[in-house]
Structure 1
């Protein structure tokens, strides 16, 4: 039986015509970058032969340099030509009023792309760069329009829960295996869940600052008097939440005194070893002139990813330093926020705790010690009360989002505080 061809509307749920221009821009930049890598290797060989280099590091000289420059020019010309052609064609094929909402698959791909290249997408003005949004019931909350905001929120409660996703993810991915911590807690505690969507390729401190600003606007327009706010961050989302707390404290935001609880799920407070391994590959490639040009490929990874090397939270942790330079931890100590009940859940794939499992296993991405805030340097150690920590076994990083054990622990931690508020 011949499979049915998908309709145009079905295809547009995954790839919108408006995405094509952004894709052309991205491919053009990638091609130019690959040309640069090839020329860098070429010049490394020429250096050994005593042949002249170009005017810029990693560029070839003479006729060879002119050829590479010509290839770059043709690449840019083709890119501009495709841009012009698409600008002419898109109005004839793109009719947003007929298209359904974007598919979860498309949204997931965009989230992953932003996690890896989000800072570059924003810097180059690429339309695929995601803007930060506060969302409820799968729709953006229009902070600029109070009546519409109230309409989309529906019957809001005095208890606000904001959920922050992790690297390369988005707000829809809190729904996993038929479970959503936000929806579960809304029913169990009578709270109103709001979800943050953000470009996880940007610096954590940048996202934290913008989140604090948007939360301030949301609180000012909340339909009923707010009694308490809870922030729940998964993975990188926990770092963004900490950054927002510090920003809210310094800016004297009105939402900051309303913050009652801060919950971390698999948050790499002390960094993630995979990013440190990535930095090690950079150092290894840079050790010889023939492999040094390939470090550019590794250095495509975003500012958000490199912030995970040590768990950066504030601007001072990264400003004024080369992101791909020293592997040393330059963070300024930042304790947990005062006056807030802080909880952390760490996961491990191991069946039970043990010295080796704690050090090596973790949840597949974040070690137990990092998720629990532990550090050999007391200045960087995050102090969670014993009853505010939970370790779940045989659980992976993403399974924290659907674990019934985690869900029940969240309800147990948050229920007493909600009743008191």
Structure 2
């Protein structure tokens, strides 16, 4: 057989190796077949919820304004038939589209797809997990966007020059681990280069409860410390936004489980972490409560209940199961959190961003970094038992910085590097002391 095919111009055009066998619709785009399945199921659920909303609104208007029977037999039948069609769509999607292939997804995934999946998981990740939707993200450690098998031989192959200093970076709500690289800057990669860390990145479903992710993260760190190919000298964590809450929750549940990795945890750095909640979520809770008080607008309160458990945890900064179990997470009940102190014996640092240009700037005081107020990011609270008590030398404010800029600011990186370098020198002196 000829190695190539002769062209009209007399040249040879070689056959393309590994012909793309995907449907034409999927070629040249970021979607996977399983993504279409997941998106279709999500769309069908959205249609079903929309039908519920329209039916409730129909009943409210007909009963209150027109003084007629809210939903008659014929109308109710129409709504039932419409909802049953969404169930048929679920079955068709399952039959027509191939099953989810995790290995194939990891091999073909793009940064654009990862960003969309991360946003979807942040918004409705609890629903994706509960419905076993293929769009859900499962927790794992990654490097360069590729998942790591937490087994000694696999880790030794992935890191032939493995060192005993581990740095784990934990992303925020609606983010992915790839988004630690922003504007050609990556705190983890630079700390690995400058201070000798091995940087690992946590990927997780940020729509789940913080406490659920915290418990999983604690178990994952225990496995990592046990299977790392060389003795672990130090673990440092950097948590961005919600990631800081997940890291604190992991310390709590790791302590309860008697995990050994906590003895190796030396440093925790929080970047724009809403230790005491985010005003945006509190505003959303108020809006949902107000809509629910009127018969005319109550159906629209259903829209506010779509947001994920992870988002509602950000109202006050929930860390534990006790902060939400047995409660209506959409109810406006005030701050009922159980106070959780910073982990004992760990050097903890907090960096807050502010859109203000200088100290005392009123705009900066009111807005913080645009999402997280200064006091919340620095762990301050009017009630002393809730204040985290970061030493002043371990807090820092980045001026003229928005929330996302904390990931790419060179000044923020210089501060992190200085803290970790000083911490390393103290540890070395302590190790040499007889």
Please say whether Structure 1 and Structure 2 have the same fold, judged by a TM-score greater than 0.5: yes
Q: Distance in 2 between matches of 1:100 and 1:212?
A: 27
Question: What residue in structure 2 maps to residue 165 of structure 1?
Answer: 171
Q: CA deviation at 1:10?
A: 8.4
Q: CA deviation at 1:77?
A: 1.8
Q: Is it true that 1:21 corresponds to 2:37 in the alignment?
A: yes
Question: What residue in structure 1 maps to residue 89 of structure 2?
Answer: 78
Q: Distance in 1 between matches of 2:106 and 2:262?
A: 40
Unpaired runs of 5+ residues, structure 2, are 1-19, 429-434
Query: For 1:138, which of 130, 138, 145 is the aligned residue?
Result: 145
Q: Distance in 2 between matches of 1:301 and 1:98?
A: 26
Q: Larger C-alpha radius of gyration, 1 or 2?
A: 2
Question: What residue in structure 2 maps to residue 231 of structure 1?
Answer: 237
Query: For 2:266, which of 230, 235, 260 is the aligned residue?
Result: 260
Taking a change above 3 Å as real, the CA distance of residues 233 and 44 of structure 1, as seen in their structure-2 partners, is same
Q: Distance in 2 between matches of 1:270 and 1:328?
A: 12
Question: What residue in structure 2 maps to residue 309 of structure 1?
Answer: 315
Q: CA deviation at 1:51?
A: 4.4
Tell me the TM-score normalised to structure 2 length: 0.89
Number of residue pairs aligned between Structure 1 and Structure 2: 405
Q: Distance in 2 between matches of 1:397 and 1:177?
A: 14
Q: Is it true that 1:213 corresponds to 2:229 in the alignment?
A: no
Q: Is it true that 1:352 corresponds to 2:358 in the alignment?
A: yes
Q: Distance in 1 between matches of 2:186 and 2:62?
A: 58
Q: Is it true that 1:155 corresponds to 2:161 in the alignment?
A: yes
SS of 1:24's equivalent?
A: helix
Q: Distance in 2 between matches of 1:216 and 1:387?
A: 30
Question: What residue in structure 1 maps to residue 132 of structure 2?
Answer: 125
Taking a change above 3 Å as real, the CA distance of residues 317 and 358 of structure 1, as seen in their structure-2 partners, is farther
Question: What residue in structure 1 maps to residue 60 of structure 2?
Answer: 44
Q: Distance in 2 between matches of 1:309 and 1:391?
A: 23
Taking a change above 3 Å as real, the CA distance of residues 248 and 99 of structure 1, as seen in their structure-2 partners, is closer
Q: Distance in 1 between matches of 2:247 and 2:104?
A: 36
SS of 2:142's equivalent?
A: strand
Q: Deviations over 1:355-385 (max 9, x none)?
A: 7335412101101111011111111111011
SS of 1:380's equivalent?
A: coil
Tell me the TM-score normalised to structure 1 length: 0.91
Q: CA deviation at 1:80?
A: 1.9
Q: Distance in 2 between matches of 1:271 and 1:262?
A: 19
Q: Distance in 1 between matches of 2:260 and 2:210?
A: 22
